[in-house]
Structure 1
Amino acid sequence: MAEDKEILRELWNGQIPVQFVLSSDEITALASEAPQPFFALVPRQTYFPLALDKVNRHFLKYISQAAGQEMWLECDGAPLRHHYPVGVLFDLYGDETRLPWTLTVHYSNFPESELVHLNSREAIEAFFMATLKEADVLKHRNAVITNMQKKDHKNLWTGLSNDRFDLFWSVNKKLMETSIEMPHFRNIPFRLYQPDKSFLQKLIKPVDEEDHRLTTLDDLLHQTLTNINVSSAVVLIQGIEVPRETPLQWLSEHMSYPDNFLHICVHSA
């Protein structure tokens, strides 16, 4: 199981400075002044719909009453897929040299074909738990999460949504456990992203069944990406360029997002 708590805590504490700007299309003619941007530090591990209450209150007085109420975000003209973790979105579309990250806020013309509706905390919780269960199916054939009590499920969600590291990991450590009989996960839950493409996902085991060698990040990249030069690509996990020889088992235990997936962002050189 994951044992280096300092690594886990450092990743959990990661934040991204964001400047939220209201789209000019949303501003009502009755507004007496142009809205000021709203600045916030947003945790990398969360989802934007969980972090926008204050942003919403800041801009509501400027928008037309006829506008829809489900906020969505745009980055450089493209809707942000807010069902991806914030850190994944930044690793795909942000730039460490241009901070704060500027995002445009919209309320109307929700892009139905591109975004998932997550307009309540209950909807976000359901989406998160479904993803978490998928990860457990891959790692343990769903044996861990189905044996948890309802309060454990609630503590996972409360820990994430209320930014409580110790509460979350008091339960999540069970999902990271291995045993003498099963020293590795059955498969590595991962999703691989490239800008403006659907993510890639396939079954990859943490140990090669032929030579019993630990499967590495480099192995995963070469098995999954056939359309780019992997050796020259920039690969980010949790905003970090991880050494390619790192075993997937270790990465899955220590660098997965709260949904227990290893989210890997790849930029072609």
Structure 2
Amino acid sequence: MAGERIAHLQSKIWSGSLPLEIRLAASDCRTYDESDPYLVQYPRLSYLAFLLPRLHTFFAPWLINPEVPSYEAWLSFEDVPLKWHYPTGLLYDLYSGAEPINFDGRQEREAVVLSHSTVATMGGAVSTPWRLTLHYTEFPSGQLIPLDADDKTMRDTFTNAMKEADFVRNGTARTAMSLSKEDSDKLWQAVRSHDRALFNEINTKLLYPPGLGLRHVPLKVYLPTSASQTTSETIPEEGKTTGHLRVVQALVPLQTSTRQPQTLGTALNSTLPTIFPSRRNPLLAQPVLHGAAVPMTANLWELNRAAAYTDGFLHLAVVMLG
């Protein structure tokens, strides 16, 4: 995949967004009728926590306690609390139940992954709003990390994930740890403001550190509970349960044991062979990234360069077939 192709795909992914319809929970609303909904087209790569100040301003007239700080709010979908440190697009792919976009062979050759925002231009149906609920009480402390007024929790969580991805790539987090304060601030500003150019200015330093050779591709796979229960013997020790999901992470080298470039299919087959028994075809489950079913033949490192989330990881949702 040439540099221009990677840049093109990254541009498509950064343009991806989701229509959200957010309503105030009845237990926090002071009127008998529902409050007006907050409607927004929101970037897939961004985080829902960044919306809280705007949501608080909008819903203030309906709040039973308008003095409650905006950072004490939390969002849910069908009674499932949504984790702040998961990107919005990943949360949508995991919980919305929406069918992933599938491409025919020609489109697969032209584009490895595309976002929901491009579907309309390709003749696909426009997705309906994802309906979420905003809460200010009964915080699910066992499932969510409390936020703070200064965004320190969100920034620290993102920074830790970015350092983890750096360690996976190079066997050391030295590059991430040695970022100057100016570069660290720029990276966080780019994530908050969804600024691709500013992000790439700093991210390039992380992807291509001088004097370090790439070792592994940062990859996390999210399995629905039913899938993880049926494949418990094949899941690495790194896997951990979170809510109704199991997160599987393994060290995936750039090449296979036969020194061939690692593809998504070979990586999934080696990590989860029961769910992905074939290296080329999704027989039992489909890997989904940014709302699209990803070809198993995609080069994994090129996929990471083009389609990783801002923390450096490929976050793959798994949709069981049949």
- TM-score if structure 2 supplies the norm length? 0.76
Report how many residues are paired: 264
Cα pair 2:84 2:154 within 8 Å, conserved? no
More displaced stretch, 256-265 vs 220-229: 220-229
Q: CA deviation at 1:261?
A: 0.5
* Unaligned stretches of 5+ residues in structure 1: none
Cα distance change on mapping 1:201 and 1:67 into 2, 3 Å: farther
SS of residue in 2 equivalent to 1:16 = strand
Amino acid in the other structure paired with 2:142: S
Matching residue within 154, 163, 167 for 1:133: 163
For the pair 1:104 / 2:106, whether they are aligned, the reply is: no
Amino acid in the other structure paired with 2:39: F
SS of residue in 2 equivalent to 1:194 = strand
Partner of 1:35: 35
| Cα deviation digits, residues 219-260 of structure 1 (max 9, x gap) | 222233355465231211122211101121111111100000
CA–CA separation in structure 1 for the residues paired with 2:211 and 2:303: 19
Task: Show the 5 A alignment for 1:15-26.
Answer: 15-26=17-28
More displaced stretch, 130-139 vs 93-102: 93-102
Q: CA deviation at 1:204?
A: 1.3
SS of residue in 1 equivalent to 2:287 = strand
Cα distance change on mapping 1:40 and 1:117 into 2, 3 Å: same
| Cα deviation digits, residues 191-224 of structure 1 (max 9, x gap) | 111242131111111112x311111111222233
Matching residue within 245, 253, 266 for 1:197: 245
More displaced stretch, 187-196 vs 59-68: 59-68
Q: % of aligned pairs identical?
A: 28
SS of residue in 1 equivalent to 2:84 = coil
Cα distance change on mapping 1:71 and 1:211 into 2, 3 Å: same
Partner of 1:219: 266
SS of residue in 2 equivalent to 1:81 = coil
| Cα deviation digits, residues 158-194 of structure 1 (max 9, x gap) | 0110121111111111222277983xx2111111112
Amino acid in the other structure paired with 1:264: L
Amino acid in the other structure paired with 1:244: M
Q: CA deviation at 1:66?
A: 8.8
Partner of 1:74: 76
* Unaligned stretches of 5+ residues in structure 2: 100-124, 225-243, 277-281
Amino acid in the other structure paired with 1:194: L
Task: Show the 5 A alignment for 1:251-262.
Answer: 251-262=303-314
RMSD, matched Cα: 2.4
| Cα deviation digits, residues 139-169 of structure 1 (max 9, x gap) | 1222322332211111110011012111111
